[in-house]
Amino acid sequence: MTTSTGALARTALDGPIEQLLGPLLDLHHDHKTGLLDPERAALAAAHRDLATAESALTYHRNVLMRLASGTLPVDTALLDRIRRTVNDLTHATSLRDTQQARTTTALERVQATAAPRVPAATELSAHDYAALLALAAGGTVREHLLTHRVSVRTTQGRTVDLPAFQRLEQHGLVARDTSRDLTVGQPVILTGTGRTALLGSNRKAPTPAAAAPARPAGAWPTAAPASRSH
């Protein structure tokens, strides 16, 4: 089964992969065109299969939610469908866990050979710094169960622009707990690099205009220009 790159489901390892290698779209494009080394190619293939497994899990979970929503009459046929769906969901979860372990192993191999990605301070805009400041006390990344829309909120309930959050994550300024399911909510914290950037160490203060040099005490006053006589 072939899944287009744009249709890949979100996974728990998207953040760490993007933080290390940049946008997933670029990773899968380079994999498709044969531009990756063996370690990165293995990671891209494992992530693609993980996303497919996540899609299958989400499908069976949604079917179970519909069957248990209370809109269908409770009879033997419904109970049989629920049992089959639970069985399918169990298998899908097992497959997802297997693919996630495979992707984690592939990611660790790339991490062992990759040079750390150090962002330039100029890559962060004022909007990104505002998002970083909003997340100083923490936040949560969550995927809506039905719409699959991913949103970021601070502990104060403010919404943070998702592209800005993704840039901060790619630069290693924020981190989230990917051990938790995205639909439950993944806590977000600032990294040490993020706190340093927030304190302004990456931004230079404006240089004050140089003051006119003071005349030493006891110095002769400046002579006035001589006037010309006619």
Give residue-wise pLDDT tens across range 114-151: 654 445 455 678 888 899 999 999 999 999 888 888 99
- Predicted confidence at residue 222, as pLDDT, reads 54
Q: Domain of residue 49: give its range.
A: 5-113
**Does the pLDDT at position 3 exceed 80?**
no
Higher pLDDT, residue 187 or 219: 187
- For residue 128, is it within any domain? yes
Q: How confident is the model at residue 47 (pLDDT cuts 50, 70, 90)?
A: very high
Residues 87, 157 share a domain: no
Mean local confidence (pLDDT), 96-119: 82
Helix (H) or strand (E) holding 33: none
Residues 129, 99 share a domain: no
Q: How far apart are CA 150 and CA 175, in angstroms?
A: 16
- For residue 229, is it within any domain? no
- For residue 156, is it within any domain? yes
Residues 47, 26 share a domain: yes
**Does the pLDDT at position 160 exceed 90?**
yes
Centroid of chain to Cα 228: 75
- For residue 203, is it within any domain? no
- For residue 183, is it within any domain? yes
Centroid of chain to Cα 195: 17
Q: How confident is the model at residue 214 (pLDDT cuts 50, 70, 90)?
A: low
Residues 80, 131 share a domain: no
**Does the pLDDT at position 12 exceed 60?**
yes
- Predicted confidence at residue 206, as pLDDT, reads 44
Residues 137, 100 share a domain: no
CA atoms within 13 A on the CB side of 224: 3
Identity (one letter) of the amino acid at 26?
A: D
Residues 156, 91 share a domain: no
- For residue 221, is it within any domain? no
Residues 105, 127 share a domain: no
Q: How confident is the model at residue 59 (pLDDT cuts 50, 70, 90)?
A: very high
| Number of domains forming the structure of the chain | 2
Cα distances from 68 to residues 64, 94, 181, 184, in angstroms, run 6, 22, 21, 19
- For residue 226, is it within any domain? no
**End-of-domain residue from the set 113, 147, 163:** 113
Q: How far apart are CA 60 and CA 79, in angstroms?
A: 15
- Predicted confidence at residue 116, as pLDDT, reads 47
Residues 92, 25 share a domain: yes
Q: How many residues does the chain have?
A: 230
